[in-house]
Structure formats: structure tokens, C-alpha cells
């Protein structure tokens, strides 16, 4: 195996970025994350990290390769053949995905009602609205990815179940943080909307745990284990 900076730097945690919430501004583990390090370098050079989905996939492939990992599923995603790409991106038709999508829609409407805008500068701590805004899309996308990976596992690609559980664990973390943020907003404006969002999350969390019973115990490297 080729010796790289990643393999020599014992401070880095391989794969720490796989199932994180991508909120680097509030992450205490960025010094351990090769993806964060490479993203900072990319942003300094190009001004913006990514211009397309293909850029993101290629970036991830490069980071994984530097860590010494193969990425056959990412290689497939870059194929020009739609049928080949569908092999790792199966169509999702699932009530759990519908429930997550409902939360995304309701949260988006709520944020619009509150006239939420992304902060111009990073505050020492995110506001409750910032938390709701950050996690609502991640909840939707990671539920879909968890279900897609579970389909792959059921089709004989057992290793995909680890990704499914990791994504489901990230969703549970996002639900808990969103739930706490929404509770602080109760009794203020649009209380009925807040109640609806809370009720939807209270349906979604147990549904995730029923579908992915190993998710709660899943240990994300550097985030849930002894290194966290």
C-alpha cells in the first residue's frame, strides 16, 4: 500500500466523515478528519469546494484512496451508463421515506414562515432555528441512503448494511438534536407548527429504530466511540 499523509498521521480517524452530520463549523473532531483537511485546501485553491455532484463523488474517491480504501460503488456512480448507476442507487418506494419527506416538507414550510436565513457569520453556538434548518435536509437524504443501502444488503451485498446502520444512526442523532431545538421554540410563534414537527419526529425516530434495530448501537469512528 502506498504511504500517504493519511496513513502516517495517527491523529486522523479513517472514515470519520462517513456518517457525520457534515456541520464542520460545530464539530470538535475536524483535526482528525482528512475530508475536512482536503476540503479546506480545495476551498483555499478554488474558492468553492464543489460545483457538481460529480465533483463531490470524485473528491470522496480521492479521500478514500488516500486512506487506502477502495470505492467500487463510487466508481459505478461516475459511469455514463444509467443502468449501471442504478445498480447502486435503487429507486426507493417506502413509507419510511415518505415519513421523512413529510418532515422535510413541514420543516421547510416552518423555516419559511420564520423567515430563516443562513447566518452570515458562524456563531459560538447555533440557534434552535439553525439546528432545525441544518438537520431537516440531512434527515431526509440519510433516510433515503439508509433504505437504498439496506436494499443492496438484501440483494446479497452484505457489506452495505454497515452503511445503512451508519446512516440511520446519523438520522437518530439529527432527530434528537432537532427535537431539543424545537422544544425550545414551543410557546413562541407558530406553536402549532412546532407541535406538528415534534409529533412527526416522534413518529420517525421509533420507525427508524424498528427498521434498523442495530442503528442505535452503531459506533461511528471518532464520533461515538472512545475517540469522540
Q: What's the CA gap between 17 and 203, in Å, rounded?
A: 27
Location of each CATH 1.20.120 domain in the chain: 95-211
Q: Which three cell numbers stand for residue 54?
A: 460529480
What is the per-residue burial (b if ≥16 Cβ within 10 Å, else e) of 122-138?
eeeebebbbbbbbbbeb
Res 121: pLDDT: 87
Mean pLDDT by 10 residues, the chain (228 residues): 57 91 93 92 76 74 80 59 60 92 96 92 92 96 93 85 95 97 86 94 97 95 69
Q: What's the CA gap between 143 and 96, in Å, rounded?
A: 8
**Residue 208, burial from CB neighbour count under 10 angstroms (0-12, 13-18, 19+):** buried
Q: Nearest 5°: CA angle at 15, between 13 and 16?
A: 60
Res 1: pLDDT: 40
* 3.20.14, 2.60.120, 1.20.120, 3.40.50: CATH of 95-211: 1.20.120
Res 3: pLDDT: 44
Contact 175, 205 (CB under 8 A): yes
Q: Which three cell numbers stand for residue 147?
A: 433504505
Res 62: pLDDT: 85
Amino acid at each position: 500500500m502506498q504511504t500517504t499523509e493519511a496513513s502516517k498521521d495517527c491523529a486522523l480517524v479513517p472514515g470519520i466523515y462517513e456518517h457525520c452530520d457534515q456541520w464542520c463549523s460545530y464539530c470538535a473532531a475536524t483535526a482528525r478528519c482528512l475530508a475536512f483537511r482536503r476540503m479546506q485546501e480545495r476551498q483555499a485553491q478554488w474558492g468553492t469546494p464543489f460545483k457538481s455532484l460529480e465533483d463531490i463523488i470524485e473528491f470522496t474517491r480521492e479521500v478514500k484512496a488516500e486512506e487506502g480504501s477502495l470505492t467500487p460503488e463510487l466508481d459505478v456512480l461516475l459511469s455514463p451508463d444509467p443502468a449501471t448507476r442504478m445498480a447502486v442507487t435503487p429507486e426507493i418506494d417506502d413509507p419510511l421515506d415518505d415519513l421523512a419527506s413529510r418532515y422535510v416538507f413541514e420543516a421547510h414550510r416552518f423555516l419559511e414562515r420564520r423567515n430563516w436565513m443562513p447566518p452570515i457569520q458562524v456563531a459560538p453556538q447555533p440557534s434552535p432555528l439553525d439546528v432545525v434548518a441544518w438537520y431537516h435536509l440531512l434527515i431526509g437524504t440519510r433516510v433515503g441512503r439508509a433504505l437504498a443501502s439496506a436494499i443492496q444488503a438484501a440483494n446479497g451485498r452484505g457489506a452495505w448494511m454497515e452503511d445503512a446502520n451508519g446512516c440511520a444512526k446519523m438520522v437518530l442523532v439529527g432527530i434528537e438534536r432537532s427535537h431539543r431545538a424545537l422544544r425550545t421554540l414551543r410557546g413562541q410563534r407558530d406553536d402549532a407548527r412546532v407541535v406538528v414537527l415534534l409529533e412527526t419526529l416522534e413518529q420517525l425516530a421509533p420507525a427508524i429504530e424498528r427498521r434498523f434495530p442495530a442503528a442505535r448501537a452503531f459506533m461511528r469512528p471518532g464520533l461515538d466511540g472512545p475517540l469522540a
